[in-house]
Amino acid sequence: MGEHRVSNNIRVLRFHNDEMTQQELAEKVGVTRQTIVAIEKGKYSPSLELAFRMARVFDTPLEEVFSFNEEPKKK
Amino acid sequence: MYYQEKKSIVNIISTLLVYGIYYWIVYQEYGDRVMSPDEELQYWGKTMLLIIPIAIASKIVIHIIFSITNRLVTSERQPCFEDERDKIIALTSTRNAFMVFGFGFLGALGVIAYGMPMRSMFIFMIVAGVLSDVFDNLSQLYFHRKGI
């Protein structure tokens, strides 16, 4: 639970997409706002399908939304 | 605090209240009665069967009251669907609950193996059932707060 190797730029990407709210993003990818909050905070690693849906919403490659760190990020 | 977290806390309290009150009433009525083994089996069968509809009905009522109160106080809407994270949390919590009940069931068998009264075995199983329900909701609360 405490360690996640996947980090993300969702907050920045939301800001650059007309300051999209977490609720708007949640509706576009079909999850609850709580899940977006958890992903942004690094408390949940999304499924591959959800990750692709998010990348599609931001119209950007997956690697720009999520990145994989070799060293686990300690919470 | 999010809706799911509050729901888990309400579920824990309602489980403890409903089962606690029910078994307290049952104990007040039948606790000291001397019964034959057949009568005792029938008594425990009835007691455990009756709690199922009572628990379901009570939880529905408590859930409705909680949803209305939460909506009025916080204006927060109840999530209308379960997404992938909710499902993973629910599955992992159910697994934890089954483990707790499994240990309780083994304990109940152990009680019989050590020659203790039949009543002790049923009490052990009921406590294991309640604890597994509480553990299910505690796990959900933990995973919603700390992540999964």
The CATH number of the domain holding residue A37 is 1.10.260.40
Q: Is A70 within the bounds of a domain?
A: no
Give the residues of chain A that fall short of pLDDT 50: none
Q: Is residue B4's pLDDT more than 90? A: no
Please state, as a whole number, how many other Cβ atoms lie within 10 Å of the Cβ of residue A51: 18
Cβ distance A34 to B148 less than 8 Å, yes or no, reads no
Are the C-beta atoms of B138 and B61 separated by less than 8 Å?
no
Q: Is A46 within the bounds of a domain?
A: yes
Q: Is A33 within the bounds of a domain?
A: yes
Q: Is A52 within the bounds of a domain?
A: yes
Give the domain extent around B61: 3-146
The pLDDT tens digits of the residues spanning B64-117 come to: 999 999 989 888 777 778 889 999 999 999 999 999 999 999 999 999 999 998
State how far the Cα of B125 lies from the Cα of B104, in Å rounded to an integer.
6
Cβ distance B84 to A35 less than 8 Å, yes or no, reads yes
Q: Where on the phi/psi map is residue B115: left (φ > 0), alpha (ψ -120 to 50), or beta?
A: left
Given this model, what pLDDT does residue A3 score?
A: 59
State how far the Cα of B30 lies from the Cα of B28, in Å rounded to an integer.
6
The pLDDT tens digits of the residues spanning B52-65 come to: 999 999 999 999 99
State the best of A31, A54, A73 to mutate against chain B, taking most chain B CBs within 10 Å.
A31
Give the domain extent around A12: 4-61
ipTM: 0.79
The pLDDT tens digits of the residues spanning B130-142 come to: 999 999 999 999 9
Given this model, what pLDDT does residue B141 score?
A: 95
Number of independent structural domains in chain A: 1
On average, the pLDDT of chain B sits at 90
State how far the Cα of B77 lies from the Cα of B68, in Å rounded to an integer.
10
State how far the Cα of A61 lies from the Cα of B3, in Å rounded to an integer.
33
Number of independent structural domains in chain B: 1
Partner residue facing B146 (CB), from A1, A32, A35: A1
Q: Is A75 within the bounds of a domain?
A: no
Residue B119: pLDDT band (50, 70, 90) is: confident
Q: Is A74 within the bounds of a domain?
A: no
Q: Is A69 within the bounds of a domain?
A: no
